[in-house]
């Protein structure tokens, strides 16, 4: 979170404030594959699985695999824990790594290759993997392929070296020209930086809200613009064109807070891959957790009345994302219509996307 100072709110700063939720006027006072099975068409029996890293260097690994009697948890080439069809284990004593990967190996069927979703960086708080989710038909979204993030301008030299080791090749910058000029991206050596400006000078947002209710309404309308606005469609078409090009992986797309423009990009990606809406929503709402400290600091710097107005702009809420999906239905008839008419993806592109990013 940048230290906030008194500033005039220009139209571009406005967009940064309520669409990405990171800047507000101050108060006058691997290239590894998650879900990688032993063969991409081998059925994966896990219905739930997650790795969570703790500050003390330990990892919690949880899973559900109905009908499976034994699951081995492997890391760094050795078995570190085991359990039955349902398990929750804590693994300690592993050596430090850029990203600790675990293989969940069932007695039969495909294994899962998972890591903690968050990529720990010194200069970003919401850089996380888009993968590690199960689709409605039992496939899993690979990890280590697509990442979503907040601003990259404060990445340290160590951060950049880590992202290079994680094979980040392409960075899609969803921010406005003003945001990019004020806080230029830092990208790992060898990575391609691509501008995909969702707002691109759009006059859609012209005034800051004066009440919390106006703030909520602004976020709802902003989400609709990300679905049907001309500049938004162009930007997301650019991003999805890159995602469907497997040679550009690993891909990062980001805005300033990594929650609104980035949030819709990831919601659209997961939906295209067949991830259930409830899971898509949970991923979207997770920005509230990852950004909790930064958002709390921003609100604490304001008088209570002003903080009440700004809180809806810093949050992600179910009604925001739902308004985007409502806009998809109203403007395009179905998500398939949105894929074709807005994102430029035909049925073959979607099949290729699933072939590249799903296993099991």
Pairing of strands 170-173, 251-254: parallel
Nearest partner of 278 among 321, 236, 221, judged by Cα: 321
What is the phi-psi region of residue 167: left when phi exceeds 0, alpha when psi lies from -120 to 50, beta otherwise? left
Nearest partner of 113 among 63, 164, 58, judged by Cα: 63
Question: Catalytic: 12?
Answer: no
DSSP state of 18: I
| The 192-195 sheet, strands edge to edge | 128-129, 146-149, 251-254, 170-173, 192-195
- At which residue do the structure tokens 């888009």 appear? 130
A 10 A CB-CB count for 347 gives: 10
CA–centroid distance for 1 within its chain: 18
CA distance 131 to 145: 8
Q: Tell me the two tokens of residue 84.
A: 């039955």
* Angle value at C-alpha 282, between 311 and 174, nearest 5 degrees: 65
Which residues are paired to 170 by β-bridges? 192, 251
Nearest partner of 23 among 342, 340, 298, judged by Cα: 298
List 243, 255, 294, 316, catalytic entry: 255
Nearest partner of 123 among 161, 86, 80, judged by Cα: 161
Q: Tell me the two tokens of residue 158.
A: 């160590």
Residue 253 phi/psi, 5-degree rounding, is -120, 145
CA distance 127 to 98: 14
Q: Tell me the two tokens of residue 18.
A: 């309520």
Q: Tell me the two tokens of residue 232.
A: 């938004």
Q: Which residues are catalytic?
A: 255
């Amino acid at each position: 979170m940048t230290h906030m100072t008194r500033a005039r709110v220009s139209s571009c700063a406005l967009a940064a404030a309520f669409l990405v939720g990171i800047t507000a006027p101050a108060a006058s006072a691997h290239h590894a594959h998650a879900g990688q099975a032993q063969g991409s068409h081998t059925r994966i029996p896990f219905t739930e699985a997650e790795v969570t890293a703790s500050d003390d260097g330990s990892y919690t690994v949880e899973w559900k695999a109905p009908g499976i009697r034994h699951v081995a948890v492997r890391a760094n080439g050795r078995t570190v824990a085991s359990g039955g069809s349902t398990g929750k284990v804590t693994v300690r004593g592993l050596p430090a790594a850029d990203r600790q990967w675990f293989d969940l190996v069932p007695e039969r069927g495909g294994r899962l290759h998972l890591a903690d979703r968050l990529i720990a960086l010194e200069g970003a708080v919401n850089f996380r993997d888009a993968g590690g989710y199960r689709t409605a038909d039992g496939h899993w979204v690979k990890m280590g392929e697509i990442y979503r993030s907040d601003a990259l301008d404060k990445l340290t030299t160590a951060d950049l070296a880590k992202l290079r080791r994680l094979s980040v090749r392409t960075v899609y910058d969803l921010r406005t020209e003003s945001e990019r000029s004020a806080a230029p991206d830092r990208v790992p050596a060898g990575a391609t930086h691509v501008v995909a400006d969702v707002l691109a000078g759009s006059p859609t947002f012209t005034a800051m809200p004066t009440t919390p209710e106006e703030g909520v309404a602004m976020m709802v309308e902003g989400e609709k613009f990300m679905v049907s606005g001309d500049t938004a469609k162009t930007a997301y078409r650019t991003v999805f064109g890159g995602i469907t090009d497997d040679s550009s992986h690993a891909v990062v797309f980001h805005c300033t807070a990594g929650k609104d423009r980035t949030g819709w990009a990831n919601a659209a990606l997961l939906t295209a891959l067949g991830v259930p809406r409830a899971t898509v929503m949970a991923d979207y709402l997770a920005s509230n957790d990852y950004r909790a400290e930064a958002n709390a600091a921003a609100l604490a710097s304001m008088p209570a009345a002003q903080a009440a107005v700004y809180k809806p702009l810093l949050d992600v809420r179910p009604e925001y994302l739902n308004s985007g999906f409502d806009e998809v239905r109203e403007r395009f008839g179905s998500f398939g219509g949105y894929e074709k008419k807005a994102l430029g993806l035909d049925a073959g592109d979607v099949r290729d996307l699933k072939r590249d990013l799903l296993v099991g």
